[in-house]
Amino acid sequence: MKQFVLLLLFFFTFPIVSQSAEIPAESTGPQEEPPVTKYPSYQVFGFIEQDVTYVHNSDDPAAFQIRRARIGVRGDVTDRISVNIIGGVVEPPDRTPRVVGAAVDFDIHPLLQLRTGQFQVPFGIEGAESVIMNHAIERSSAIRRMNPFHMFSDIGIQASGSYNRVTYAVALINGTGANQPALSDPTTVAGRIGFGVTDGLDIGGSFHFGPYRVGENHIPAILVTRLGPEAVTISGEMSGDYDRYQLGGDVEWQIDGLFIRAEYRYRNDEIPNQDGTIRDWGQHGGYLLASYRFTQQWQGVVRYEMHQPDTEIHFDDNGLTIYTAGVNYYFDRQTRLSLNYELINDRRTGYHPGNLLTIQMQLML
């Protein structure tokens, strides 16, 4: 019990100590020349997400869990080359260790930076930024359902840059997701173009084109979702590469303490049938999130999201809608205590999820 108490004290006092250590001492003597930067220069970082959840209409409603626990190293190798490596000690959905990112950046010019390795795919906003920056506890279910890349990441090379109010990022990737081997030539392309309309208002458009592999030893999750785990049997006629694409749009607006973000996606996959024919499977979805910072510590959050997993079936028969309301209390930086309550309506046959209450402590290391 004593060790457990000491561990809790460490977790909750570490950010305070770190914050005070960043405050420079007042100068009492003559100003010295700024030190010359020495390379390489690295920084250790990480975070822990601890949850308490309660699901209505469940046989086991309450649970404690570690949602994520990550630690990494980032820094500069030279004045133009930097590295970012982060590992997940605990990662959803099965809470097993994984490599979250392992990327090298080459700063060539404001118009061109290159990134190689495993990194977050440049599509949309939520998937391309760290989950700790999301004002809700978790990314929206609609975006997570439609995301084809494991952990929103993949392995490849990316070019990005900015000019005035325009930003861009385009990546050539394997198309199989993080920590997955390439199953075909890396011909998957994903990217986003953003435009700053005014100070605080940004809009963007995203695209993703590329094949995915179907075989006896590789059954994509989309086939399991479409046909059901018991109905999926890969025949010789079904094996091969099939095309898929995504298109998306997003908008983000910040003014004073008000923050509004919205994303919409459309995804289309070629789906093989048992007789060797192919059909197009379309789905679409998105969310609208708004938050308001009442004080430096207190923030309110609301979110609406929807997902239609098959556009050929009426929304009333297979659509998902979730309404989320929550509050955040910030201790320091992104160290915060959060409460979210989700009203969930999944209209698919046989799906009856209960409403979800989540309390989370997000601790920056």
pLDDT tens digits, one per residue of 36-48: 678 889 999 999 9
Q: What percentage of the chain carries pLDDT values higher than 70? A: 81
Residue 2 has pLDDT above 70, yes or no: no
pTM of the predicted structure, to 2 decimals: 0.83
User: Is residue 232 situated within a structural domain?
Assistant: yes
- d(CA 347, CA 358) in angstroms, rounded, equals 22
Domain that holds residue 173: 48-364
Rounded mean pLDDT of the chain? 85
Per-residue pLDDT reduced to its tens digit, 49-101:
999 999 988 777 899 999 999 999 999 999 999 999 999 998 888 788 999 99
User: Is residue 20 situated within a structural domain?
Assistant: no
Residue 245, Cβ density class (10 Å: 0-12 exposed, 13-18 middle, ≥19 buried): middle
CATH code at 277? 2.40.160.10
pLDDT at 176: 86
Average pLDDT over residues 241-259: 94
Residue 123 has pLDDT above 50, yes or no: yes
Looking at the structure of the chain, the number of domains it has is 1
User: Is residue 6 situated within a structural domain?
Assistant: no
User: Is residue 13 situated within a structural domain?
Assistant: no
Residue 269 has pLDDT above 50, yes or no: yes
Tokens 């994903």, located at residue: 190
Q: Other C-beta atoms within 10 Å of 261: how many?
A: 20
How far is the CA of 276 from the CAs of 192, 208, 240, in angstroms? 34, 25, 11
Residue 9 has pLDDT above 60, yes or no: no
- d(CA 69, CA 326) in angstroms, rounded, equals 22
- d(CA 203, CA 192) in angstroms, rounded, equals 10
User: Is residue 305 situated within a structural domain?
Assistant: yes
pLDDT at 234: 57
User: Is residue 143 situated within a structural domain?
Assistant: yes
**Would you call 309 helix, strand, or coil by DSSP?**
coil
User: Is residue 24 situated within a structural domain?
Assistant: no
User: Is residue 62 situated within a structural domain?
Assistant: yes
Identify any residues that bridge with 191 across adjacent strands, giving them in sequence order: 170, 207
